[in-house]
Structure 1
Amino acid sequence: MYASLCVVSLGIAGFFWWQGATLVMPFVWLELLVVGAAFSVYARHATDGERIVLQGEQLLVELENAGHLERAEFNRQWVRVEPKSGDGSLIEVSGQGRSVRVGRHVRPELRPALAREIRRALRGCNG
């Protein structure tokens, strides 16, 4: 898509440059550079996300941000999930001396529901 944008913009700019409007070409190059930088920044964060998986006795939390993957495993019997309902801040999952904050990609008013869902899933595995 970016290549087609470059071809069209450079084609139009080339036409006007050929007609004598020589200042068009530098501005098109500047435009394509800025748009390319914006696409690059977007591409770095396009796969950002959080993954929370409960597998048997382990709670696995994976956070991906700009290509950096942070992974934490917790024994589900020792996990604490905070804050309590009503608070719109990030949810802290902690246990065994480690902690991670989740909920960046969830609207603040829905974070308490996510915390309740995690707690319910952890309790549900007890039997």
Structure 2
Amino acid sequence: MIRVPYPCVIQDKFCGIINISVEALHDVMTEDPETRTYKDCMLMSQHEEPKVTEDEEPPTEQDKRKKMLALKDPVHTVSLQQFIYEKLKAQQEILGEQGFQSLMETVDTEIVTQLQEFLQGF
């Protein structure tokens, strides 16, 4: 059995990984119209209290347990935006600036533009 080095697999699948990443960012990010920045709507804070309107019941103990469980899930605790940024930075360090740029050129320009919009500020 031949073992393929980890970076090689990433490079072979890079375009697809970026496409899926941008698609996922579209699913979980919301844009603040005032600042024109994006926020991961899946993130939860321990201190964040659910907003209860007058016609809703306050959270039950079961609701509180569900929230505590959700707070242990990376989907709700790790920013997808930051995660993607960090993984791209790591890939750039492995390949060097020129190698990474060559890899980015394999990705559709519209997808790259969308990725750059999502990662502004990092």
TM-score by length of structure 1 reads 0.29
Query: Relative to total residues, which structure has the larger helix share, 1 or 2?
Result: 2
- Which entry has the higher C-alpha Rg, 1 or 2? 1
TM-score by length of structure 2 reads 0.30
